């Protein structure tokens, strides 16, 4: 491939065919994808992140309470979650039944106890 050089404002630039430029951009995009994958895999391997099982996603899409879904996934009873989160069992039951939504402070406590991001509970 023939590369021309030009100088503008004291800086040297390379002029390459558009097709070669597009190949370089495609390779750069692939490299960025590989780096993102490697970073995500590293977080999983270090236990800093987890994959969300399909069952959780399906139950959430079906309209089930995210608090209940994650509580059951973590194999906790309402009482055990109440103890860890410092949220009353009655409040947890009301949130799971859809009678209450729970304020941000309550949901933050539940998210911390369930070891999930807050957005997984809303």
Is pLDDT of 92 > 80? yes
Task: Delimit the domains of the chain by residue range.
Answer: 4-45, 54-121
Specify the DSSP class assigned to residue 17.
Answer: -
Average pLDDT (9-26) is 94
Q: Which fold has domain 54-121?
A: 434 Repressor (Amino-terminal Domain) (1.10.260)
**pLDDT bracket for residue 90 (50, 70, 90):** very high
Which stretches of 3-121 are DSSP H helices?
Answer: 18-45, 54-61, 66-73, 78-85, 89-97, 104-114
What is the pLDDT, as a whole number, of residue 122?
Answer: 86
Predicted confidence (pLDDT) at residue 2 exceeds the cutoff of 80: no
């Amino acid at each position: 491939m023939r590369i021309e050089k030009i100088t503008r404002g004291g800086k040297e630039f390379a002029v390459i065919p558009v097709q070669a430029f597009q190949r370089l951009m495609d390779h750069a995009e692939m490299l960025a994808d590989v780096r993102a994958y490697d970073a995500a895999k590293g977080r999983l391997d270090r236990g800093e992140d987890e994959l969300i099982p399909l069952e959780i996603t399906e139950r959430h899409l079906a309209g089930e309470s995210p608090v209940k879904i994650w509580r059951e996934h973590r194999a906790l009873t309402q009482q055990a979650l109440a103890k860890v989160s410092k949220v009353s069992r009655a409040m947890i039951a009301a949130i799971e039944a859809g009678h209450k939504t729970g304020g941000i402070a309550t949901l933050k406590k539940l998210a911390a106890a369930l070891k999930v991001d807050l957005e997984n509970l809303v």
